[in-house]
Structure 1
Amino acid sequence: MSKIRGSFVVIIGLGGVGSWATTMLVRSGVSKVRLVDFDQVTLSSLNRHATAQLKDVGKSKVDGVKQYLSSVAPWCQIEAQNELWNEGVDGDRLLSGSPDYVIDAIDHIPTKVALLKRCKQLNLNVLSCAGAGAKQDPSRVQIADMSNTFEDPLARTIRRKLRSDGVGIPVVYSTEKPGDVKLLPLPEEEFAKGKVQELSAFDDFRVRLLPVLGPLPAMFGLAASTHILLSLAGKEDYAPLPVKNRPKLYEKVFRDFHKKEGKPTVYGSNEPICIDVNQVGYILDEIYNAKSALPPHNTLSRPALVRWDTSKPLSITNLAAMEYKDAQHHYGSLLSQCEGSGLLVWGQEAQDYFTRKSKEVEKDLKALE
């Protein structure tokens, strides 16, 4: 408890997730917190916010949370910063004071990625929170290293942008398979007014609402605060659950791929196998989302990777995911036709899909240069 009471935590983003994380950190004894958010309480957020009341609509989120928690724990030093975190001097100021932990509960992806990278550069402990919107299964909420998440679309996007920088960043996320919940349409009267872009808080920030089941953001925030409390207290017997055998799966897919590409009867037998296990995971989960490159793009039960075009060199941009039995057919058919693209076996629709995915890989590679 003395370690927890002597700690300092910065929470960036005071919506449904961040407000709950803050509330439980303060209630659990953390004696100093810095709250950072530029936004105000909205009517639509009352189903999930930890402290906001109807009378708080229109009020600064950080001021509202500070006022509430000051009545709960008047001894806690609560610093409220009603501003947007951004890169540069101002952003570093909001991370100053040697915090023991930083919580990233930001909705805006570019800002989220920039914050995580900066925390890594400053050697600050940071925990990220992925998307709680459109989720409905509380049993799927878990904590893992950012590099090992799966299923969660927001976590996947962040992981792809961070790549190696994501290693060592714990994240609260959901392994629930994405459903058909979409952004709510913008009311026609807003289009009639014109200048829809002015509804956005800032450039490239979405203006439409994503439906949110109230308890789920709270669960994300409670998971985040629990992880931080146990980490601050130095609980050596605490460790998040391991990821669902993904490393073992990647190794198996890699072995199968190596056997196929390494045989003398298969194209590329004189080339080095320049694909490693990490790249197998990247292609399988980041690019193809554990689904087949072949229509109708079903979730893979026994995944495999193939060289899509056997007339071209083996490279990370020339890989496609599909079922193991389809991979066998892929190589067998192309061998019987000497060499060529998967277009010859699977048709134009599959070829177009592969081309789009290959361009995604190229875009990621350019971002890392």
Structure 2
Amino acid sequence: MDHLRSHRVQLIAAAVAASAATAGLIASYNAYNRQKTRKDLNEQVLQSIQSKGSNFNFQALQENFENISASSSSSSNYDENLIREQLARNYVFFGEEGMQKIRGGTVVIIGCGGVGSWCAVMLARSGVSKIRLVDFDYVTLSSLNRHATALLEDVGTPKVKCIERTLKAIAKWIQVDARIEIWRKEDGGTLLEGADWVIDAIDNIQTKVDLLKYCSDNSIKVFASMGAGAKSDPTRVQISDISYTIYDPLARSVRRRLRLLGVSSGIPVVYSTEVPGDVKLLPLDEEEFRKGPVKELGVFDDFRVRILPVLGPLPSIFGLHITTYILCELAGKPILNPLPIKSRRKLYERLWRDLLHREEKLAGQTLSRIPLDEDDIALIFEDIHRGRSVLPPHEVPTKPVLVRWDLAQPLTLENCVTMEEKDAAKHVKAWREGLESSKESLQSGTVTLSPSPAEVWGNEVEEIVQRRAKEIRRVQDWVA
């Protein structure tokens, strides 16, 4: 009996050992197979790099552009384990279901310059498997300060083909549809076919409006990029609905035109609330002016031939904002009510109501409106006075209010300042007391009241107000 029991134990032990050995062999085989696949991929990458050494033939690359898609591996024969490893951090963030939606998504990018190229690169890096690129333009030397994929050797290459090459090098499994075309509303539906999201990175205002209107009418999700030119403050870049944009000239023009077409909201945009400094159009050579009217120099009608200076990082920041928003939307984890709009809009509303009530007290009657809207309030408070009191030492008010600087003059953008509430009360009180005690005098057809703001607060503050009034006039010229 003991002999049989011992034999049974031996058989069980042998079976366990065999199972363990088999499992070990399977694990080793899988590890070897994965390692071999990775090695093959590394060799492909090295060969690709070596092929573009000092003897790299750019002309041959252009001739073979049309063969890029055919020669690249597709998702059907590319190792899924490698794809998941490459996207591992995205999988951890979005989860299996979210990444399935992202990888099944189709995004169309209209305009593949500084903003659009960064969108394309990050969509590919994040797992979006179908990307359509639409742009008629070519890479120029001036593109290199902001374009995500363009190299010096790419000058003269279609932007969409330049991006396509890079996307295929990043993620061989994705499908890239590069179209060297211009989007027009007459036949734009073909280029937008199958899109889960459309990215509007177009420079031309009318084409941008046409695209946004088309998407709105056809229930196509679209995200629009506003103006990144002449901006430098990354902290002012934010996402909002088109209806909430403030002090972005491009956004204002697009918003007004869309409203006339019956579209007032429902389009997310990225824009900057920054008021640019002294910027001018890039100059054209005198020789170009001698050729004829400048507008006739464009590749297409209505497309700009003179452009604002662009600080390279800003278009990339715009593009990354767009990509992040769309990825979260595709994954089913949308960004709800972006914080800057949610928190600041209520402040502007309060400042506006407070200013209205103060103007009513000064007028001695109920007013239906004042000549400043909430956008103007935001400009005065944020951009001109930086959220600080106009009075030295220019502290951040605990309860900020806006008040007319010269109470003898009408309320305008230039004649409105930020103060602490108690200082504003003192400001109005001094004017009222002066009004009661002084006699009106007529000088050049204008009634001058005493004391003046400078007499109450000093010449230093008066000079500050006048400097900021000049800044406001410059802003008005900019947004006109």
TM-score bucket (shorter structure): 0.7 to 0.9
AA of the residue aligned to 1:162: L
In structure 2, distance between residues paired with 1:319 and 1:217: 37
* Matched ranges for 1:286-305 at <5 A: 290=380, 302-303=401-402
- Residue matched to 1:180: 278
Q: State the match for 1:129 in structure 2.
A: 225
3-state SS of paired residue (1:173)? strand
Post-superposition offset of 1:255: 5.2
Q: Pairwise mapping of residues 1-369 of structure 1 onto structure 2 (< 5 A)?
A: 1-88=99-186, 90-97=187-194, 99-163=195-259, 165-235=263-333, 240-243=338-341, 245-254=344-353, 256-257=355-356, 260-261=359-360, 266=364, 269=366, 273=368, 280-281=373-374, 290=380, 302-303=401-402, 321=413, 322-323=415-416
Opposite residue 92 of structure 1, the aligned amino acid is G
| 74-83 or 18-27, larger mean C-alpha shift | 74-83
Count of residues in Structure 1 that have an aligned counterpart in Structure 2: 324
1:105 Cα deviation after fit:
0.5
CA distance in 2, matches of 1:69, 1:239: 32
1:269-290 per-residue CA deviation (whole Å, 9 max, x = no partner) reads: 5x8x3x59xx9336656xxx54
Which has the larger share of helix?
A: 2
Query: Cα distance 1:118–1:259, how it changes in 2: closer, same or farther (>3 A)?
Result: farther
Q: Distance in 2 between matches of 1:196 and 1:72?
A: 40
1:131-166 Cα offsets, whole Å, 9 max, x none, are: 222222223222222222233332233233334734
Stretch of structure 1 that moved more, 206-215 or 32-41: 206-215
1:298, 1:28 → 2: CA distance? 39
Q: Which amino acid aligns with 1:93?
A: T
Give me the whole-angstrom Cα distance separating, in 1, the residues matched to 2:362 and 2:114: 57
Deviates more, 1:77-86 or 1:16-25: 77-86
Q: Give the Å deviation of 1:176.
A: 2.4
- Using a 3 Å threshold, how does the CA distance of structure 1 residues 102 and 319 change in structure 2: closer, same or farther? farther
Q: Which amino acid aligns with 1:253?
A: W
The whole-number CA distance in structure 2 between the counterparts of 1:199 and 1:107 is 16
Q: Name the SS for the 1:242 alignment partner.
A: helix
| Distance (Å, rounded) in 1 between the aligned partners of 2:355 and 2:251 | 28
Q: Greater CA deviation, 42-51 or 66-75?
A: 66-75
Tell me the amino acid that sits aligned with residue 114 of structure 1. Answer: D
Tell me how far 1:91 sits from its aligned partner. 1.5
Q: 1:299 to 1:26 in 2, by over 3 A?
A: same
Structure 1 window deviating more from structure 2 (132-141 vs 76-85): it is 132-141
Which amino acid is the alignment partner of residue 151 of structure 1? Y
**2:52: which partner in 1?**
none
CA contact (8 A) 2:205 2:254 kept: yes
Change (3 A) 1:328 1:202: farther
Which letter maps to 1:242?
A: P
RMSD (Å) for aligned C-alpha atoms: 4.1
Amino acid in the other structure paired with 2:256: R
Q: Select the structure of larger CA radius of gyration.
A: 2
**1:113 maps to amino acid:** V
Tell whether the 8 Å contact from 1:253 to 1:304 is kept in structure 2 after alignment.
no
Structure 1 unmatched runs, 5+: 292-296, 306-317, 333-342, 362-369
Aligned to 2:440: none
> Aligned partners of 1:238, 1:6: CA distance in 2, in Å?
23
How far does the alpha carbon of each residue in 1:88-140 deviate from its partner, in whole angstroms, 9 at most, with x for none? Answer: 2x11222222x211111111112112211221111222111112222222232
Instruction: Give distance in 2, aligned partners of 1:137 and 1:22.
Output: 24
Pairwise CA distance, 1:218 = 1.2
C-alpha distance in structure 2 between counterparts of 1:83 and 1:192, whole Å: 30
Change (3 A) 1:230 1:239: farther
Q: Give, in angstroms, the shift of residue 323 of structure 1.
A: 1.7
Q: TM-score, normalised by structure 1?
A: 0.73
Superposition deviation, residue 81 in structure 1: 1.8
Seen in structure 2, the aligned counterparts of structure 1 residues 282 and 216 have a Cα distance that, compared at 3 Å, is: closer
Q: Letter of the 1:137 partner, please give it.
A: D
Distance in 1, matches of 2:276 and 2:235, equals 14
Asked if the contact 1:152/1:178 (under 8 Å) is kept, the reply is no
* Structure 2 residue ranges without an equivalent (≥5): 1-98, 390-400, 405-409, 418-423, 433-444, 449-468
TM-score, normalised with respect to structure 2: 0.57
Distance change in 2, residues 1:161/1:4 (3 Å): same
Deviation at 1:193, TM superposition (A): 3.2
CA change 1:298–1:21 in 2 (3 A) is closer
Counterpart residue number, 1:309? none
CA–CA distance in structure 2, aligned partners of residues 212 and 21 of structure 1? 17
SS at match of 1:107: coil
String of CA shifts for 1:319-363, please: whole Å, max 9, x gaps.
9555277x979xx9xxxxxxxxxx9679xxx9xx99xx9xx99xx
How many angstroms does 1:179 deviate by? 0.9
Distance 2:292 2:337 in 1: 51
| Between 148-157 and 106-115, the greater mean CA deviation after superposition | 148-157
1:1-49 Cα shifts (integer Å, max 9, x gaps): 1010011111110001100101110111101111111111111101111
Structure 1 CA distance for aligned equivalents of residues 129 and 411 of structure 2: 52
